[in-house]
Amino acid sequence: MRVPLRERSFGELIGLCFAVSAGNFGRLFLLALLMNLPTAFLAVFQEDAARDHNTLALAMAGVTWLVFVLTSPMLQAATIRLVASSFTGESPSLADCVRLALRKMWPVLGYGMVTGLITSIGIVLCVVPGLMFMTWYYLGAPVVVVENATVTDAMARSKKLSEGLRWELFAFILVTNLLFQAIILGVKGGLEAVLDPRIAPWVDLPISSLLSMPITVAPIVYYFSVRVAKEGFDLDRLSALIQGIGEGVPRSAQT
């Protein structure tokens, strides 16, 4: 699909998250399944281990968490590659997206860990600072991948891009992230209550993969809209970025 690159209203951005998810449904869904499959596989073994071996179950829980931590930034990076190409009409293969995900996994993971820790500390201390940090750093993952930025540069860049938009961005996060996260947790809890624990992860896998698509698409859509509005970002510059995305192009050339 080809998405016009232009500034959009709040309602248009919400709609675009779903439009982009639908327009790239096949590849986005397969990427989500691929990245979530190891976690579902390990969850089954974790449940079997919990029946007789508490120590083994604890170890399996740790391994499952570690795999999730590693696959989440890969899914994020691959989705950024795919969604960015929607604005140029390009059609990258799944292999292209996975190759980029492998290259950008560690920077995206580092960004998520640092900003997640800062946001969590802010929420624990006084809630409001944590919510503020959440809006500051929401756009950083696309910056890391598209602009080839370091973690600290992406934090500063995300904060700058979000200036003057914090309340709108907070509402956007509520609708596209927290709402769908709550739905996913509700579905997961419902499946665990009615299904055999060894079957529930496999039923949950396609459902969670489907519901997570707007969550991963949302910050990328917002990032490009902000760049158009604040920097006059155009299709020629985007096309140049897409050609060098994730290839180690110097940041000065990326922006």
Mean per-residue pLDDT, 207-224: 88
Instruction: Decide if 226 contacts 172 (C-beta within 8 A).
Output: no
The tens digit of pLDDT for each residue in 146-204 reads 998 999 999 999 999 999 999 999 999 988 887 777 777 777 777 767 777 778 778 87
Mean per-residue pLDDT, 69-82: 91
Res 252: pLDDT: 42
pLDDT tier, 254 (very low <50, low <70, confident <90, very high otherwise): very low
Nearest to 88 by CA among 246, 245, 250: 245
Nearest to 35 by CA among 5, 6, 78: 78
Mean per-residue pLDDT, 92-112: 91
* CA dihedral (88, 89, 94, 95) positive or negative: negative
For residues 54 and 232, give the distance between their C-alpha atoms in angstroms, rounded to a whole number. Answer: 57
The tens digit of pLDDT for each residue in 34-46 reads 898 888 888 777 6
For residues 185 and 205, give the distance between their C-alpha atoms in angstroms, rounded to a whole number. Answer: 12
Res 201: pLDDT: 77
* 42, 178, 193 from 61: Cα distances, Å: 8, 24, 19
CB atoms within 10 A of CB 217: 24
